Amino acid sequence: MRIVVAYKWTRDPAEATVRADGTVDWSRAKPGLSAYDPVAMELARQLAQATGAELIGVTAGGKGVAVPIASKAALSRGLDRVVIVEDESLADAGRSELAAVLAEVIRYIGDVDLVITGDSSVDVAAKMVPTVLAGELGWPAVAEVAAVSGTGVQAGAVRVERAVPGGVQVLEISGPAVLAASADAAAPRVPGMKELLAAAKKPVELLDLAALKVPPSNAVMTVTGRSRPERKARKGQLIDTTDPAAAAAELVTALRAAGTL
């Protein structure tokens, strides 16, 4: 069995600022593994351990996604090897372009039974790359997966649990599939020195984007304007809480005066 974890090396918008003209200043944001990817890696690692599967990390993006610190961060979380497409043209790629590239990488790797991703990327948070990827591959996709295990009956078949309104659904999938893990599907471990040292010795394969022959998109997206969204002005009034009862009374009076209560 062969499991791929698709991950992202990127920056957290909480560390970015937006200029008055709407452009984003990332200069103070440090790149790292996207917030929920360690969850996907841990979920995949546990499944790989239980089933004896090979575990392969895959990423595609602009300049910087193949730096050693990025592949080491991924490899130290239990992956056996990583396959990376680094191409500056992918820095601003849309969700469908990225999914199309990942689909070609998965075809290139071959014999992949399962692709596992995180819940969402920390920067774009579209939650669409895994579902478009499944569409490209013609495989079933399930999002918000809370648990996954082998069925023990059929090689490659898996049983997944996912939250549905008011409960949990258990699904059985035979054949290859794409799963997007929920943010709490597994508790990621912080890699130790041993894992980091081992990561430095694991294979990193770089693929050339042009050689993948990714079919082109039928849509052309052009950014024709940028702006910083107007934030609702807030009063920012601090209420003295030395005496909790007096603070509560002041708050209630203010809310009633504003017509909120």
Partner 1 sequence: MSVNAWIVVGDQPTIGNLITVARSLGGPVGAVVAGPRSVAETVAASGVDKVVWCGGPDDAPAEASAPAVAETVAADPPRVVLAGRNPGDRVLLGAAAARLKAAVLTGARTVSMDGDDVVVVNAVFGDIADETVTVSGPVALLLDGGSVPPAAGGSASIEEAAATPLAIKVIETRTSGFDEVDLNEAHRVIGVGRGFKAKEDLAMVEALAETINAEIACSRPVAEGLNWMGKDRYIGSSGAHIAPQLYFAIGVSGQLQHMVGVQGAETIVAINSDPNAAVFSQTDYGLVGDLYQLVPAITAALK
What residues from 138 to 177 belong to the interface with partner 1 (CB under 8 A)?
A: 138-144, 159, 162-175, 177
Which of 132, 174, 134, 170 lies closest to 153 in space, CA to CA? 174
In the bound state with partner 1, the residue whose beta carbon lies nearer, of 82 and 103, is: 103
In the bound state with partner 1, the residue whose beta carbon lies nearer, of 124 and 209, is: 124
Q: Which residue has the tokens 């893990």?
A: 181
**Contacts of 93 by beta carbon, 8 Å cutoff, 6+ apart:** 60, 61, 62, 101
**With contact defined as beta carbons under 8 Å apart, do 179 and 116 qualify?**
yes
| Single-letter amino acid, residue 218 | N
In the bound state with partner 1, the residue whose beta carbon lies nearer, of 74 and 134, is: 134
Name which of residues 89 to 148 contact partner 1 (CB under 8 A).
94-96, 99-100, 119-120, 123-128, 130-136, 138-144
Q: Quick one: which segment of 45-53, 63-71, 181-189, 192-200 binds partner 1 (CB under 8 A)?
A: 181-189
Query: How many residues of this chain interact with partner 1, rule: CB under 8 A?
Result: 90
Name which of residues 25 to 54 contact partner 1 (CB under 8 A).
none
> Does 255 engage in binding with partner 1 (CB under 8 A)?
yes
- Tell me the closest approach of the beta carbon of residue 150 to partner 1, in angstroms: 14
Question: Which of 196, 197, 206, 247 forms a contact with partner 1 (CB under 8 A)?
Answer: 247
Which of 229, 220, 204 lies closest to 92 in space, CA to CA? 220
Name which of residues 202 to 231 contact partner 1 (CB under 8 A).
215-229, 231
In the bound state with partner 1, the residue whose beta carbon lies nearer, of 208 and 240, is: 240
1-13 core/surface letters (b: 16 or more CB in 10 A; e: else)? bbbbbbbbbbbee
In the bound state with partner 1, the residue whose beta carbon lies nearer, of 190 and 238, is: 238
In the bound state with partner 1, the residue whose beta carbon lies nearer, of 79 and 142, is: 142
> Does 198 engage in binding with partner 1 (CB under 8 A)?
no
Which of 189, 162, 184 lies closest to 173 in space, CA to CA? 162
> Does 62 engage in binding with partner 1 (CB under 8 A)?
no
- Tell me the closest approach of the beta carbon of residue 158 to partner 1, in angstroms: 10
- Tell me the closest approach of the beta carbon of residue 180 to partner 1, in angstroms: 8
Residue 72 Cα distances to 67, 129, 155, 205, angstroms = 9, 23, 30, 13
216-239 core/surface letters (b: 16 or more CB in 10 A; e: else)? eeeeeeeeeeeeeeeeeeeeeeee
> Does 16 engage in binding with partner 1 (CB under 8 A)?
yes
